[in-house]
Amino acid sequence: MEHITRRQFLLKQAMLVPVCLGVTGFAGKVSAGPEPFRGEAPATLWKWSKQALFFKPLGQKRVMCQLCPNACVLSPGDRSACRSRVNMDGVLYSLTYGNPCAVHVDPVEKKPLYHFKPGSRVFSIATTGCNFRCLNCQNWEISQARPEDVRFYEMFPSMVAQKADESGSVSVAYTYSEAITYFEYMMDCSAEAKAKGLSNLLISNGFIRREPLDDLCRLIDAANINLKSFSEDIYQKLNQGRLRPVLETFMTLNRKNIHFEITNLVIPGYTDDIEMFKIMCGWILDTLGDTHPFHVLRFFPHYRLNRIRPTPVRTLERFRDTARHMGLNYTYIGNVPGHEGNHTYCHGCGKPLIRREGYQIPEFHIKNDSCVFCQTRIPGIWE
Amino acid sequence: MSRQIIRLVIATGVASVATQLAVIREFLCLFAGNEFVIAVTLFNWLLLGGCGTLCFRVIRELKRPSLEGLASLSLLLCLVGGVQIPVFRMVYKTLFIPGQAVGFYPTLVFTFLASAPYCLLVGYLLPLSLDLAAGQRVSRASTEIYMADSLGDTLGGALFSFALVWLLTPVQAVVAASMPLILLVFMIQKTRSARVVLVLTMGILLICLNQELGTLEKAGIETVFYKETPYARVTVHEGDGSRTLFQNHIPRFDTQNTEAAEKIIHYPLSQVDAPSDVLLISAVSGVFKELDKYPLKRIDYVEIDPEVAGALTRFGFCKPGPQVRSIHRDARLWLSDTDQQYDAVILTLSDPDTYQVNRFFTREFFVGVKQHLRRNGVFSFSITGYSSYPSDALVEKASSLNATLEGLFERVLILPGRDLTFLVKKQGDLILDIPELLEKRGIHTIHIKNYFHGDITSERVAQLKSFIKTPGVPNLDFSPELIRISFFEWFSRFDTSPKVFGIAVGILLVIWLGVMNRAASVLFFTGFFTMGAEMMVVFAFQIYFGYIYVKVGMIITLFLAGLLPGAYLGEKSSLSSAEHRLVMADICLVVILSGFIALLAIFPRVVSEAAFLGLAFGFGFLCGFQFPCAAKIRQEKISGITGLFAADLAGAAFGILIFSLLLVPALGLIQAGMVLVAVKCAGMMRFKLWNI
Ligand SMILES: [Zn+2]
């Protein structure tokens, strides 16, 4: 009655196969960069959606986004890898315009920017979206979300400038998620802010194409660009990004004389290799010069990278010493409260110029952009 | 010969249960350490075991089984068991980015494929033994084998939970538990070549034992402490002047993280005028140094795992002073036993995303805390927060915790930040300007003084408050709202959804129900029901009596132990027809669980510890009782019996998954129990109406 033939056996086995295969499909995917989301555009655009400034029609209503080096190719109904741009009937639109989901007033030191109007307040905004997929993202709730899935404020660019002004901020920062992905909004906000006499700060991973960056440089006053490592392999592994375009961004900013600071997160087991760090410092010195403040940050386990221990302070100290020794005079240690690596020392006379205690500035000895003790010019925007 | 087979089955039971307990602990270290991973792993095993049993039906047609064959396969089982844990670790390292948390679907695939060899083999061995033992009297043999298997499982479970887990490392435990089986194989295998194979196997196992610690090393840092405790794997790593203590591969304490200690101690203590007695539930690095800034009379420090507490002092994470009393107990139990009153109760556990930790974030626990707080006492705890935007899941969690605290405490203050800190006071106001409070008292801090005002602006506090939903859904012992939210958050963190898995399980369930015969369906539903009931007993027990490793081990052991006399009685009893007995047992199961649910719902305090243990035994007994009855209905055919084994395993697989992942988070414990009863009744109806 219950005799099973070999054929039936194979049949039963075959039934199990799709179950196994179905699930393995999730594990096996390895890609070079983040992929666009096929057919995931919303049915209708958000009321303030704006036609993208940088894209190229490819025929048959397909478009290629020209904003960042991901260069997403989208058919109608597709959504870009950063989740912010959609192809609607052959036109690329940005869904992130006038709908910031994070709005805060922060101290400028928190960005971190140490050589830009110390102690000032910064009106900081972000919409959703990012063109990377960092495993340790601090803002994954918005960077890896779609604009329509979050709580947001309705804030047209003019209102951003007005609110920033009212809050007593001297600048507007485009930060938290990836500012490049809300490029059009950032551009218009910057213009409004500039008109009100406010500065504009770009806090970014630097993964942007040359043309949009050139436009942006006309409006921003300072930037902090995160140099995540100096290895294409690590960029790929931890961030699903690429190093080369980021380096080009640094070179462009440098050429345009924009004040920028560089941050580098030291992750144990990944970016705590001193040899790689030396190459990085060497590149910075050779290509960008010695005037750019450089922050080496302590890593804390977070988001998906939660099984790695925090960076030992001694590692950071060694990195800072190495960088300073090589000639990067303004190298700071970040995320270590109370560390002397937070203070600014004159590269002329070695005296402490700015003493930082968290976000407070108990001592400040820079006048007319120069050291009050020896009159050496200190790079940065001080007033 | 049949004696030898029975012995082999018992020894296989011992080895396999101990091995699987060791493997599940390994998975909890490699993957997320939550109950979802346990449920998914058990699901995989039971399903694979069922498949192994079914495989036997087919292979039997191709090759006549022999005792030597059984012995060889048993040896293979020992080999796979010993080798697999080091192999898992190495494969894991090559597959996944080191330091990265692994999401649900890769976890599912890894645990399924990794478990497959061992579980298929175990599932295959059971009917093979049965077939060999059978001769002409299949039904009796099946009961004997079933009993021997249950006995082995019971012994293996007991051996592991009461001895091996306390004394040995995972591979050592597996090899130790496999020794009786290896010895039996040695006695059966008389040929030279077989003995050579045996020696080779032993050699490989020795290599695994030797290499075990090496597979735990982390690149670039030194392991200065390693201990497997019943609660977790505890390691301390040291490098470049700092030490980190990991529990189950998650960094929990770091000697240079001074920021956390400041927040954890000063946020609550600054709110109390003259604190003298403090209860600390778990700790972070450097807490006692911060506590020393107050003139305290007594600090009760509860750390359930004495090994963790010991390592914290030994490796310089914390230096408890003379006023510190270290208590190695479940903190909930401690609170229910002590009369001590406190000025501050400070809870620093990890996030409430397991049933285990959730017990410290429920209304019932908060009521207990309140009873031990002095009039102006303060209570604080925190969960993982956000940098700039709280996700919907986090807002839901905060709303739920807010609702859980409201009504109990006069004031609730939630501080935003990378940790969301909840401060509550029995009476009186909570003041937000903590740096000023500390300044007034002359207490010096580094982090709070300099960063508080930039991070915790009144605008951020107000914004968070505006997000909190009122009324929120409170988090209760029997209705763990936070677990439900965490389940979905876990998926969203990995940008996936549980839908695909749910649908796959649903399809599998329908197929299984479709191909099953009448007697098997009873065992399927019994497997489903008892596994669910078993989980319910364990969850409820933990809620009342705390997480006491030995006692939870006892519950499971008693369940397994109940199977044995149950099966014996089911075989012997001839009072009525097998079918009638089957139905009677079903009715008993339903009545007992219903009674238990009623007790929990109406007089929860009446339920004693002994009642839980008795209940576990009772479920085991009835489950065991049903097996021989079903075997009789199946006309005593080998192939039919294997189908019964498989049905029982599959039922258990779906039971554990659906009960702990779906029913409890969605409905709460009591209601989930009711669903179990309903499902069992439906199964019974299906059985009665089968031929009509
Ligand atoms: Zn100077």
Are A303 and A324 in the same domain?
yes
Q: Looking at the complex, does the CB of residue A176 fall below 8 Å from at least one CB of chain B?
A: yes
Rounded to the nearest angstrom, the minimum Cα separation between A26 and chain B is 6
Q: Are residues A292 and A365 in the same domain?
A: no
What is the third-level CATH fold of B497-692?
A: Growth Hormone; Chain: A; (1.20.1250)
What single DSSP character describes residue B417? S
Q: Is residue A43 part of a domain?
A: no
Report the residue from A23, A307, A309 with minimal CB separation from B100: A307
**What pLDDT is recorded for position A16?**
35
Task: Indicate whether A60 belongs to any domain.
Answer: no
A16 contact B CB<8A: yes
Strand, coil or helix: what is B385? coil
Chain A, chain B: beta-carbon pairs less than 8 Å apart = 166
Does some domain include residue A152? yes
Residue B639: what pLDDT? 64
Residue of chain B whose Cα is closest to the Cα of A119? B454
Burial A48-78 (b: 16+ CB within 10 A, else e): bbbebebbeeeeeeebebbbbbbebebbbbb
A314 contacts B242? CB cut-off 8 A: yes
Residue ranges per structural domain of chain B: 1-168+170-211, 222-251, 258-477, 497-692
Rounded distance, CA A116 to CA A119, Å? 9
In a domain, A166, yes or no: yes
Which of B51, B58, B256 shows the shortest C-beta gap to A312? B256
- Omega of the bond prior to A312 within 30 degrees of 0, cis? no
The Cα–Cα gap between B221 and B239 comes to: 5
Give residue A336 CA to ligand 1 midpoint distance, Å: 25
Question: Residues A228, A374: one domain?
Answer: no
Q: Which of residues A85 and B191 earns the better pLDDT score?
A: A85
| pLDDT at residue B637, as a whole number | 60
Q: Which CATH superfamily is domain B258-477 in?
A: Vaccinia Virus protein VP39 (3.40.50.150)
Average pLDDT over residues A116-136: 96
Q: Based on the fold, state whether residues A206 and A324 are members of the same structural domain.
A: yes
* Cα torsion angle, B651, B653, B655, B658, sign: negative
What are the mean pLDDT values of chain B's consecutive 10-residue runs (692 residues total)? 85 92 90 82 84 81 79 93 94 90 91 94 86 66 80 91 91 96 90 88 93 83 91 92 93 92 96 95 94 95 92 93 92 91 96 88 95 94 95 96 92 94 92 95 94 91 93 90 88 84 88 78 83 85 74 80 85 76 87 89 78 87 83 65 77 87 86 91 79 51
In a domain, A14, yes or no: no
Total count of residues recorded for chain A:
383
Nearest to B615 by CA among B547, B548, B530: B530
Would the pLDDT of A9 be above 70?
no
Q: Please give the Cα distance from B364 to B350 (Å, whole number).
A: 19
Indicate if A168 and A221 belong to the same structural domain: yes
Facing B450 at nearest CB: one of A3, A142, A337? A337
Q: State the SS3 of chain A.
A: CCCCCHHHHHHHHHHHHHHHHHHHHHHCCCCCCCCCECCCCCCCCCCCCEECCCEEEEECCEEEECCCCCCCEECCCCECCCCCEEEECCEEEECCCCCCCEEEEEEHHHCCCCCECCCCEEEEEECCCCCCCCCCCCCHHHHCCCHHHCCCCCCCHHHHHHHHHHCCCCEEEECCCCHHHHHHHHHHHHHHHHHCCCEEEEEECCCCCHHHHHHHHCCCCEEEEECCCCCHHHHHHHHCCCCHHHHHHHHHHHHCCCEEEEEEEECCCCCCCHHHHHHHHHHHHHHHCCCCCEEEEECCCECCECCCCCCCHHHHHHHHHHHHHHCCCCEEEECCCCCHHHCEECCCCCCEEEEEECCEEEEECEECCEECCCCCECCCECC
Paired tokens of B587:
């009715």
Find chain A residues with C-beta within 8 A of B391's C-beta.
Answer: 141
Q: Which chain B residues are Cβ-neighbours of A144 within 8 angstroms?
A: 495
Closest approach of A177 to chain B, Cα-based (Å): 9
A157 & A296 share domain = yes
| A104 contacts in chain B (CB < 8 Å) | 388, 457, 459-460
Are A333 and A373 members of one domain?
no
Chain A: nearest CA to B91, how far in angstroms? 14
Q: Are residues A338 and A374 in the same domain?
A: no
Q: Which residue spans within B307-352 are E strands per DSSP?
A: 324-327, 342-347
Q: Which of the following CATH numbers is that of domain B1-168+170-211: 1.10.620, 1.10.287, 1.20.1250, 1.10.3300? A: 1.20.1250
How far B241 CA lies from chain A's nearest CA (Å)?
6
A308 found inside a domain: yes
Going by pLDDT thresholds of 50, 70 and 90, the confidence category of residue A30 is: very low
For B52, residues 6+ apart whose C-beta sits below 8 A from its C-beta are B119, B120, B121, B122, B123, B124, B125
Domain match, A250 and A356 both: no
Q: Are residues A364 and A261 in the same domain?
A: no
Domain containing A368 equals 343-383
pLDDT the model gives residue B462: 94
Which residues in chain A have Cβ-Cβ distances shorter than 8 Å to B51? 16
Q: What's the confidence (pLDDT) of residue A325?
A: 96
What pLDDT shows up at residue B636?
54
Residue A8 contacts residue A53 (beta carbons within 8 Å): no
With CA atoms as reference, the chain A residue closest to B637 would be A2
Instruction: Name residues 215-274 of chain A within 8 A of B (Cβ).
Output: 237-238, 268-270, 272
The pTM score is: 0.90
A73: in domain: no
Residue A146, domain CATH? 3.20.20.70
Quick one: A372 and A291 in the same domain?
no
Q: How far is the CA of A278 from the centre of ligand 1 (A)?
A: 26
Cβ of residue B225 closer than 8 Å to a chain A Cβ: no
Establish whether domains B1-168+170-211 and B497-692 are of one fold. yes
B556 and B18 in contact (C-beta within 8 Å)? Answer: no
Taking residues A167-189, what's their average pLDDT? 97
Please indicate, yes or no, if residue A261 is contained in any of the structural domains.
yes
Please give the tally of structural domains in chain A. 2
Taking the Cβ of residue B186 and every Cβ of chain A, the question of whether any pair is shorter than 8 Å is answered with no
Q: Does A6 score more than 60 pLDDT?
A: no
Predicted pLDDT at B625 = 87
What residues of chain B, 454 to 473, have a C-beta less than 8 Å from chain A? 454-455, 457, 459-460, 467
Do A204 and A170 sit in the same domain of this protein? yes
Could you read off the pLDDT of A238-284 as tens digits, one per residue?
A: 999 999 999 999 999 999 999 999 999 999 999 999 999 999 999 99
Q: Are A108 and A120 in contact (CB under 8 A)?
A: yes
